[in-house]
Structure 1
Amino acid sequence: MRLAVRATPRGGRDAIDGWTRDEAGRPVLKVRVSAAASEGAANAAVLALLAKSLGIPKSRLSLARGDTSRLKQIEAEGVTPEDLARAFGAPPG
């Protein structure tokens, strides 16, 4: 499954800030990490935080798109919509 994420590097702390919608109206999970957006540190921190929140190994998550963008597509192997709802609440309908 693919998960849309809006990442905020240097966000002061590592946290999931819940769901929002992008400009096209699609649900996006807001994530902030304390790591800077240099040399992939923020991307690695986002993947680690998501894995921890979902209770899965980091190896099951990969960055599919958005390496240098705040909007990212995360490929989550074996993760269901129910898993996302349990970890982050239900996305906006």
Structure 2
Amino acid sequence: MLTLSLHVQPGAKRTEFAGLHGDALKIRLAAPPVDGKANACLLAFLAKFMGVPKAAVMLLSGESSRQKVVRIEGAAEPSVARLMEQLA
């Protein structure tokens, strides 16, 4: 299980990692912050990146905030290593 603190920027040109924002990982999302579209985009992006099903990625807090906490179940070592590369 992996828990991430995120700072999310919806409405970007593309969905991508954007480094750190304080103690949180910053992610730009190519989805508007309306009707849960940004949250759905975020969960799908993280599931694909980590190689887990969408159901394994859960939004713990920050549903209507840019500051979010996400839990990822069953993240494999190579995926976690790739995530750490994004932070560097």
The unaligned stretches of length 5 or more in structure 1 are none
Percent of counterpart pairs with the same letter? Answer: 33
Which residue does the alignment assign to 2:62? 66
CA distance in 1, matches of 2:12, 2:21: 19
How many equivalent residue pairs?
Answer: 87
Which residue does the alignment assign to 1:8? 9
**So what's the TM-score if we normalise by structure 2?**
0.83
Pairs within 5 Å for 1:24-39: 26=23, 28-39=24-35
- Structure showing the higher helix proportion among its residues: 2
Question: What amino acid maps onto 2:81 in structure 1?
Answer: A
The unaligned stretches of length 5 or more in structure 2 are none
CA distance in 2, matches of 1:44, 1:90: 21
- Runs (4+) of structure 1 exceeding 2 A deviation are 78-88
**So what's the TM-score if we normalise by structure 1?**
0.79
Aligned-CA RMSD value? 2.1
Which of 71, 85, 88 is matched with 2:81 structurally? 85
CA offset digits 1:10-53 (Å, max 9, x no partner): 011111123x142xxx3x21111111111110000011111111
Q: Compared with structure 1, are the counterparts of its residues 15 and 90 closer, same or farther at alpha carbon in structure 2 (3 Å cutoff)? A: closer
CA distance in 1, matches of 2:78, 2:16: 20
